[in-house]
């Protein structure tokens, strides 16, 4: 396992979460004023965009904690290889829903 592959996986996950947050605004109900005219000032009570954004926030928090663990290991000089292995396994599990994305790498399967 190379640290560069960890960095690539973290970047991949950040990009996917950004896409998910952007795409969440596309899932409005037919009667929603924002589905007719995508006016950001229009109020919306559709449950789907809020649910998708909440999932993105949770995943972003998990990713942030993994990044903190990686940074702590880098500051300590990579003294405990098991920590990196655990972080890599967790990141790969987070990335699995995106396996059909063109930027996916086969080495990221958990």
Instruction: Quote the CA–CA distance of 91 and 20 in Å, as a whole number.
Output: 17
Measured N-to-C along each axis, helices 81-95 and 3-24 cross at an angle, to the nearest 10 degrees, of 30
The model scores a pTM over 0.75: yes
- The predicted structure's pLDDT at residue 78: 63
pLDDT 10s digits, 68-98: 988 888 787 766 678 888 889 999 999 999 9
Classify residue 41: in a domain, yes or no.
yes
Classify residue 6: in a domain, yes or no.
no
- The predicted structure's pLDDT at residue 48: 86
- The predicted structure's pLDDT at residue 94: 96
Classify residue 60: in a domain, yes or no.
yes
Token pair, residue 105, equals: 């790498």
Classify residue 110: in a domain, yes or no.
no
Domain span at residue 51? 13-102
Number of domains into which the chain is organized: 1
Classify residue 107: in a domain, yes or no.
no
Check if the beta carbon of residue 48 is closer than 8 Å to that of residue 32. Answer: no
Classify residue 3: in a domain, yes or no.
no
Classify residue 42: in a domain, yes or no.
yes
Classify residue 54: in a domain, yes or no.
yes
- The predicted structure's pLDDT at residue 92: 95
pLDDT 10s digits, 5-49: 889 999 999 999 999 999 988 887 777 776 666 666 666 778 888
- Of 98, 47, 91, nearest in space to 67 by CA: 91
Token pair, residue 64, equals: 């942030």
Check if the beta carbon of residue 21 is closer than 8 Å to that of residue 63. Answer: no
């Amino acid at each position: 396992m190379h640290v560069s592959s960890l960095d690539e996986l973290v970047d991949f996950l950040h990009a996917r979460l950004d896409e998910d947050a952007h795409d969440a605004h596309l899932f409005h109900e037919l009667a929603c004023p924002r589905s007719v005219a995508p006016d950001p000032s229009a109020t919306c009570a559709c449950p789907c965009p809020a649910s998708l954004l909440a999932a993105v926030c949770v995943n972003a928090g998990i990713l942030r904690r993994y990044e903190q663990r990686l940074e702590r290991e880098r500051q300590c000089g990579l003294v405990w290889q098991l920590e990196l292995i655990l972080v890599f396994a967790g990141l790969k599990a987070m990335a699995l829903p995106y396996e059909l994305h063109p930027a996916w790498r086969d080495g990221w399967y958990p």
